[in-house]
Amino acid sequence: MREVAVVAFAQTVHTGHDTGLAEPELLLPVIDEVKRATGLKRFGFTCSGSCDYLAGAPFSFVSALDAVGAWPPISESHVEMDGAFALYEAWVRLQHGDIDTALVYGFGKSSMSDIREIMTLQLDPYYLAPLGLDQVSYAALQASAVNADRAALDEIVRRSRADGRANPYALDLPDPAGDEFEVEPLRPYDVAPVTDGAAAVVLAAGDRARELAGRPAWITGIAHRAEPHYLGMRDLSRSVSTAEAGRAAGVGKGPVDVAELHTQFSHEEPILREALGLSGDVVVNPSGGPLAANPVMATGLIRIGEAARRILDAAADRTVAHATSGPCLQQNLVAVLETSA
């Protein structure tokens, strides 16, 4: 298996409202930042993750290429998923051996739409979508199945928002308050906030990674697994696909300093902690995580970027990143990053 590392990461200062910037305008500063960090002007491969429904236009990712510069011609691909899954495609592409670098980015502006309505469209169009089961409602079904302690969930939100306030890229959100429900048992603050933003990551292989970064964040394991789409066919209190992806990626092969988890709802943290076998001393989402900033289609990529940054900055030696897609943690990607390949 070819050695591949994250050598640069950049993200926008995320906002909870529309600032008037189009997607290419969101992307250009972060792509310029990773170019400056690596000294690269062109990449062997480019892959992005986004959602046409957020933009309200088909093939919206094509316009985003204006931020990359598509001339001279580039080798480019796109996934209609979070940028973390675009990173997986780029990692696979680097395994071919004919290129040494890849640019990966994800972006989304959920302030311009109703994210709950949009996420309903990913459900089965014949049996589930007609029920009007929106994203928060089916998350509430899972929260009920978990039956997590309310005080524990409140502490997760409080910690996430406090860490987010210390993160210059996350939203400035107050401590949780109020006892009304969004959809019982979830309260409004249990739900990740509406966020606009973008992120970019540069991958490099072998000696090229060592040239581009003094301390590359080597991806020593990466895997993703999916479960049945229908909620009634799964035990919602567990995440079997996360556990399987974690085992395949090798999470349990060594101590974990930091885990960045794609928790869009507070109850997902205990599910993912258990699935990945994370002990109580593992620091989870020190960036604040999605509960402090959730730019849809970039959130999972940011988890990988934040986990890598801890290694790039010598703040950690071994980290875990997690990204998810689909209803109730249906499809999950897990990556292990280390100081040595």
Check residue 31 and give its pLDDT. 97
Spell out the residues 6+ positions from residue 136 whose beta carbon is closer than 8 angstroms to its own.
116, 182, 183, 186, 191
Convert the pLDDT of each residue in 5-17 to its tens digit: 999 999 999 999 9
Nearest to 9 by CA among 109, 104, 100: 104
pLDDT over 80 (residue 341):
no
Torsion of CA 244, 276, 157, 197, to 10 degrees: -60
User: Which CATH number is 115-191+216-338 given?
Assistant: 3.40.47.10
Q: Where along the chain do its domains lie?
A: 4-113+194-212, 115-191+216-338
> 4-113+194-212, what's its fold?
Peroxisomal Thiolase; Chain A, domain 1 (3.40.47)
Q: With a cut of 80, say whether residue 333 has pLDDT above it.
A: yes
pLDDT digits (tens, 9 = 90+) for 82-131: 999 999 999 999 999 999 999 999 999 999 889 988 888 888 888 888 88
pLDDT of residue 100: 98
Compute the residue count for the chain.
Answer: 341
Angle between helical axes of 268-276 and 135-146 (0-180°, round to 10): 60
40-81 residue pLDDT tens: 999 999 999 999 988 888 888 888 888 998 778 899 999 999
Q: What is the model's pLDDT at position 63?
A: 86
Question: Is-same-fold flag (4-113+194-212; 115-191+216-338)?
Answer: yes
Contact 317, 257 (CB under 8 A): yes
Q: Are 208 and 45 in contact (CB under 8 A)?
A: no
CB 253 within 8 A of CB 135: no
